[in-house]
Structure formats: C-alpha cells, structure tokens
Amino acid sequence: MYRPKPYCISRKSVQEAYLKIKANKGAAGVDKMSMEAFDMQCQKHLYKLWNQMSSGSYMPPAIKLVEIPKKDGGKRPLGIPTVTDRIGQAVVSVRLGEVVDNLFHEDSYGYRPKKSALQAVAKARERCWVYNWLLDVDIRGFFDNIPHDLLMLAVEKHTDEDWMVLYIKRWLVASLELEDGTIVPRAKGVPQGSVVGPVLSNLYLHYAIDMWLKANYPDHAFERYADDAVIHCRTEEQAIHLKESLGKRLKECGLEMHEDKTKIVYCKDSNRRGETEKAVTFDFLGYTFKPRQALNAKRKVSFTNFLPAVSTKAMKAMNEKLNKLPILRIAGIEIEAVAKEMNPVLQGLINYYGKFHSSKLKGFLRGVNAKLANWAIRKYKGLRVSVTSAMKWLKRLYKRKPKLFAHWTFGSKPTMELR
C-alpha cells in the first residue's frame, strides 16, 4: 500500500538540482565519490536522495574541510560537501532563493541572478565621484561566526515549508572533517563552499546591515557583495560616526568588525585637494580604488580622478595561477597547444579585470610574453642564445598570427621590453 511522503518535494526539482551541480563540477567530499562516479548510477542516487528528503530521513554527512591560499598570504577554510549533499542543498537553495531574492536590496550584488561583482565595482566607482568619503567594511571571520539562532529566525520568517527549515538546520550543524580525519562539531557559522551558504549569508546580512542602513542611515549609499561592503559618506564626521555605530550593530548580530581592516577612506581627486591623514585608497572585489591620472572627454587635459584598477593582490594571484599551468613546462608541443590551454585563463582575466582602467592590466599581461619566451627557449635550441632572441621570435609569431593569444588582441602584444 502506498504511503504518501510527509514532505512534498518534486523529483523534477532534484533532477534540476543535479544538472546544476554537475555543471559546476567540484571535488569529492568525505565519501570520496566524484561526480564521474555519481553519474554512472545517477538515477539510483537521485531517487535515494529524493526518497530520503521527502520522508524527512535525510541526514547530511560531514563536510570535508580544506584550506586554500588567500591573496593576502593567509588561508581560507573551504567546506566541500559530498556530491549528493550538494544536490540536496541545491534543491533548498533554489527554492529559498526564489522567495527571498526579491526582498534583497538593489545594492546587494553577491550570488544573485542578474547581479555581478563588476556591477558592484561600477556602482562604487560612480558613487566615489559623488561622495567624498567612504567606510571600507571588513567583518572578522564572517562565514565562520554567523549565529545559527538568529539566522534561523530570518529563514523561518520567509518560509513556512517545514522540510526546508529541517534540512537547513541539519546542514548548519553538520560536522567538519579536517584533513587529518578529525571530526569537529559545529555550533555556528556557514561553511564556505556549501551550496546553500550564499543565500543564507545574503539573507543574514540583508537584516544585519542592508535593512539597518536603510532604516538608520538612508542617505548613505552602499555596495555589498556577500560580506565585502563599502558605504559612502558625505563627510569624515559621518564616516567616523558610522564606523562606531556599525561596529555596535554587528556585535548585536553576533559578528565583529575587523578594526584593523575596516578603514575610513578619502576619495581624493583634482576637485578634492584637502589634506587628510586618513587612507586615500581601498580594495574592493579585486580592484584597487585610488587617485589616478586620467584624461578628460576630449583627451587633452590630464587630471586626477578616483578610479579602480586591478589590485596588486589580484595580479599576484593571477601570476601564480599562470605559473601553475602545466602547459608552460612542456617543451615538446606546438605553440598552438599552449595558446589553447592558456587562452581561457587569459580571457577570464581580461573579462573581469579589463573593464576599468585597463592599462594596468595590459601592463601585467605583457609579462605573459616573457613566460612564452622562456617556453620557446626550452623548445628551440636556436633561441637559447638570449631572451632577446626569444622575444624577437615571439614578435615574428605575433605578426603572422596576431590573434593567437587572447592578451595580444587585448593590446598586450610582444615588444622588446623584458618584464
């Protein structure tokens, strides 16, 4: 005799979640099951997951914790759920996102459909021309310290579906498995790397910061991407007051402002000549905002403008990523194969960091030509006389195939300048 499931979860939603997780790829979790292995019996695994979630019996396994390098030299903890668990989280994430996304502030840009980090950078640039000051906000260990009780109040406010509440609670307290196999229980925080984490963290900061600013500081525009936020002020006094007040607000929400990294910034340019001991530069989403030389609309008069360009930290991370490409250490292949491997990486950098003050990125990408020259020296004995010979070879290649590498078409063609 058929017994109806206590929770109404469609099999279609599980199938769609699976396709979404498959497209994103990702590493295996604590069960060591890769996406390729899951695919071999996907319908069996998906039915089991749907059956368990619909009956209320699904229990999330531990989350595999790994540490990945940060741009500033530190390490960021990253949680890796199992493939099955990621699919289950995606079912809830999609459903909850459909409910809460329309509630979010228009200047909340992180992990939202039709919103992007570049939009946040563009809006920050625009507002830095209008507001003289800003508060560059940093929350200490945000994802690791979100209080579960306050977060669940926000979740329960926006859904009356018991199964969603049940599984979110279970995911929040799922244990962590460290790299040495140690199991660590959790009483707060949302693991970075979890599928449901972005919508939960966005929902929490929607109330902790966005709505608080709207109610108490309606004249202070802001841009927020997850926990990375800048808030614009008219005067230094406003910025000082806001910093103190926001610090208190974060404490009320179980969070802590990072005093050393949260700073008041003066958006100095040719029209703002006053001297200050406060900072005149800040980093936001991989871009450094600072006074830079620019040309007016007729490109005749130079002046100082407050503009974003790719940050030093981002360039360091990009350089490390390029150096790790195995293709550059293989001499026994053709240059076309090198281009095929490198171009997706180069184009990704250009698409993101080439949007604002692109001359900074072009200068960095010219250094890629030196890497290509070093590859050519290893491949061709005749070029081992000097790096200059290799650069001449690269210039000849550029003349024959100017579109071979993505950064060449971007304006970083080979020159005799060695970087």
The residues spanned by each domain of the chain are: 11-257, 311-410
Mean pLDDT computed over 62-82: 82
pLDDT at position 80, please?
Answer: 94
CA distances from 227 to 82, 91, 314, 348 (A): 25, 24, 18, 23
Report residue 418's pLDDT band, with 50, 70 and 90 as the boundaries. very low
Higher-confidence position of 300 and 178: 178
Question: Average pLDDT over the chain, rounded to whole?
Answer: 92
Mean pLDDT computed over 202-230: 97
Q: Which two tokens stand for residue 314?
A: 């981002």
The one-letter amino acid code at 207 reads: Y
Specify whether domain 11-257 bears CATH 3.90.1850.10: yes
CA 55 to chain centre: 35
Burial 94-129 (b: 16+ CB within 10 A, else e): bbbbeebbeebbebbbbbbeebebbebbebbbebbe
pLDDT digits (tens, 9 = 90+) for 36-47: 999 999 999 999
The one-letter amino acid code at 229 reads: A
Mean pLDDT computed over 249-277: 91
Question: How far is it, in rounded angstroms, from Cα 146 to Cα 74?
Answer: 21
pLDDT digits (tens, 9 = 90+) for 353-378: 999 999 999 999 999 999 999 999 98
